Amino acid sequence: MNDFITSLRDILLYDKQSPLLFNTGLFLLLFVLFLLVYEFLSGHRKIKMIFVILFSLYFYYKSSAECCFILLGVCLFDFILGNLLGAAKSDVARRSMVAVNVIVNVGMLVYFKYFNLLLEAFASITSSDFDPLQIILPAGISFFTFRSISYIVDIYRGEMKPCTNFLNYTFYLTFFPPLLAGPVVRAKDMLPQVEKAAPATQEMISSGFFLIICGLVKKVIIADYISGNFVDRIFDNPSLYTGFENLMGIYGFTLQLYCDFSGYSDMAIGLALLLGFRFKDNFNSPFKSQSPQEFWRRWHISLSLWLRDYLYIPLGGSRTKKKWQSHANLITTMALGGLWHGASLMYIIWGVWNGILLVLHKIYKNILGIGKDDRPGFLRRLFNIFCTFNLMAFGFMFFRSESMEKVKEMLHQILFSFHADVAPQFLDGYLLIVIAIILGYALHFTPHSWFLWTQKHFSRVPYAVQALIVALIILVIIQVRSSDLVPFIYLQY
């Protein structure tokens, strides 16, 4: 009995090596129990809200231990500041409150994510010893700080009124589905749903189960498999492989990143639907894009819109009369978007690369006089998609590589040691990897109408059966996946 209690305690308490993720058996068990209690409390709104908040905090505790108190502190800080902002009459006071919110949130990001990088840079300049501090990065801090900033800025802009119910705001900021890795849900979109407290409809439940299935397939069947069995090997030692294999590794990582992150978004949106909350799509078939601009309208949509509304436009956006300033604003925004991902030069380079692509595309459109109503033919669409995809995949090489040395090795192999003749041996040695990559891209490029057709027919099945299908798929995945848990890539951001 004592052994059972000890084992149960070890499972339920914080373990850095075992976070509570959507693709784990423990989450499946806890979520089923959570749903039973959630439905039982349907007639008791306040008690149900407190229950969801407590479950969300426990979910966060399993990923970041005592950092859940930081999250609660942000909730209290936002709630008080938001109401003070709503009551303030002086524009100076209002601006000051927005500045305080930005400084506090950005200050937390700088301390937890970039402080060691700054200390290292200072040590390098002063030729002194550098001993990095042991700073624990709170999971999802980049996401909930962005949500905090958008809430205060939206109040300042008059786009929403301050939340006057602390439970409602705490529910919004701690809500577990998007907590760790997005989407970046804005208060003006979610708080009205929290206040309305409408139950999930049958359509929402069906869509939720379907998205959870899609997310699990993307994450575990495709992303995790090609990562551990192929992509990691290439990026760890690019010089040991031919240029052809390195190129396949870049294409493989591009698919892995998409399936991993969009898979998380699918599951987060699906779980929220089961609880009666509807979030906007975070991905929209980005590899079908015909330009860098379109790509960023389809990839990590919630972050792209956040950067546009709260960084690019305040910097001046494209309203400035001088085009070079507009271009500089765009590159600065994308560079900071890259830095948001972590304290690494590689993320900044990736951001700058995307900023340059966006600027070059703007210049290209202006030179050729291409407008919004331009409708290219089939062959030109294919050419545009091919070029855009390869430019983005090239950028993701910087995103994944540990250093510029690794990038140089990959480029050297691709340019000077390509060896396309190894393709038959590659196909023979990595047959299942090739099948997984082809499957992933094939599913991505299928017409959206096929997705809607499948979802429609799935929704016709009784949702008790839908829940059973989801549970069976999760159990099968748990059995066939690798013994080591593969965390979602964006959990580190």
Q: Which helix (H) or strand (E) holds 195?
A: helix 187-196
Question: Catalytic one among 44, 300, 327, 341?
Answer: 341
24 φ, ψ to 5°?
-115, 155
What residue type is 325 in one-letter code?
A: Q
SS (H, E, C) 90-140: CHHHHHHHHHHHHHHHHHHHHHHHHHHHHHHHHHHHHCCCCCCCCCCCCCC
103 φ, ψ to 5°?
-65, -45
Q: Is the preceding peptide bond at 192 cis, omega within 30 degrees of 0?
A: no
Q: Is the preceding peptide bond at 178 cis, omega within 30 degrees of 0?
A: no
Residues contacting residue 198 through CB under 8 Å, at least 6 positions apart: 276
CB burial string 301-310: b at 16+ within 10 A, e below: bbbbbbbebb
Based on the residue annotation, tell me whether 341 is a catalytic residue of this protein.
yes
* CA distances to 253, 264, 430, 439, 448 from 444, in Å: 15, 16, 21, 8, 9
> 82 near 93, Cβ under 8 Å?
no
Q: Is the dihedral of CA 224, 228, 234, 235 positive or negative?
A: positive
What positions carry a catalytic annotation? 341
